[in-house]
Structure 1
Amino acid sequence: MIEIQINGIDEIVATLNRISARTKDKSDLMRNIAGIMESAVLTNFDEGGRPKWLGIKHRQGTPLVDTENLMNSITSDYDNDSAVVGTNEPYAAIHQFGGMAGRGRKVEIPARPFLQLTSQDEKTILDDVQEYWQNLLNK
């Protein structure tokens, strides 16, 4: 039989218990992540997509921002375990994913993904999460 002895086990258990207690309320972290995601989505509208969205064929204007209805419908929410960004506009999905629209579904709408994060946005979120954990460990 092999026996392993860990020195300082009481300190290790106490540290793990402290970390566990501090991670019960993650709402501050989730609020930050929701804010980063909402800001990224609004930047997508400001920049005309990241990468750029296809233009409009049959009229003048800028895709998805002429009336700003879709952009102004973007909301974020969070709770202890999640952060979300979205819209309740019924026409949002056709613009996000593309597809056939209009009477008889004869008009092709190209995908103009506005609910997306760039790799830099993802890095910003990861940096925020790492900072959160560092602060927990250093308390």
Structure 2
Amino acid sequence: MLIINLDDSQCQRTLAQLLRNASNSRVIMQGLATELETMTTDNFENEAFGGQAWVRKAFGNGKTLTKTGELKDSVTSSASSTTATIGTNMIYARIHHFGGTITPKQKSHLVFATPNGFAKVKSVTLPARPFLPVSSDGQLQSDGDRRLIEVALSALTSGT
């Protein structure tokens, strides 16, 4: 006769810990918000949206979207028990993230400095250079799902 006894006490303790960790969703959301901010930093460093390269700036040295670093530095994240949020309060962030055309509001032309002097134009069209990890149609950047799932699983198993 063969008798096998299984002790599920470790399994019970692990499941109980998972339930305790899952009940504190703020920890999970904070981890997700922090990872979203890390993904944004990676985008600035790599000049890409999840690996898809941004259109390079038309002129000047240095990295695209980082002339002063002000836009990158303005990105913040926050979390509650139900949300993970990332964003910036810079007024020009929208046009850089989504792209679009800039036209003068009160004058007939836009005037700006170029390497060859000043340019006077009726409008300027900027390409989208998504720096936040979510596209204009609400899609998470490539590899974003995996990264956020890893953070959530870590928070569930460790509680931090």
Per the normalisation by structure 2, the TM-score is 0.65
Aligned counterparts, 1:7-86, within 5 A: 19=19, 23-50=22-49, 51-57=52-58, 59-61=59-61, 62-86=63-87
Between 1 and 2, higher relative CO (CA 8 Å, sep ≥ 6) is seen in 2
How far has the Cα of 1:28 moved from its partner? Answer: 1.1
Per the normalisation by structure 1, the TM-score is 0.73
Distance 1:22 1:43, change over 3 A: closer
Runs (5+) with no aligned partner, structure 2: 1-14, 106-121, 134-139
Task: Give me the identity figure in percent.
Answer: 27
How far has the Cα of 1:135 moved from its partner? Answer: 5.5
How far has the Cα of 1:26 moved from its partner? Answer: 1.2
Aligned residues: 119
Structure with higher strand content: 2
Partner letter of residue 88 of structure 1? N
Secondary structure (helix, strand or coil) at the match of 1:119 reads coil
Distance 1:45 1:135, change over 3 A: closer
How far has the Cα of 1:122 moved from its partner? Answer: 2.0
The answer to whether 1:130 aligns with 2:153 is yes
RMSD of Structure 2 on Structure 1 (CA):
2.4
Distance 1:22 1:65, change over 3 A: closer
How far has the Cα of 1:79 moved from its partner? Answer: 0.8
Structure with higher helix content: 1
Q: 2:154 & 2:42 partners in 1: Cα distance? A: 24
Runs (5+) with no aligned partner, structure 1: 1-14
Deviations 1:67-92 (A, max 9, x none): 11100100010011111111011111
Secondary structure (helix, strand or coil) at the match of 1:40 reads helix
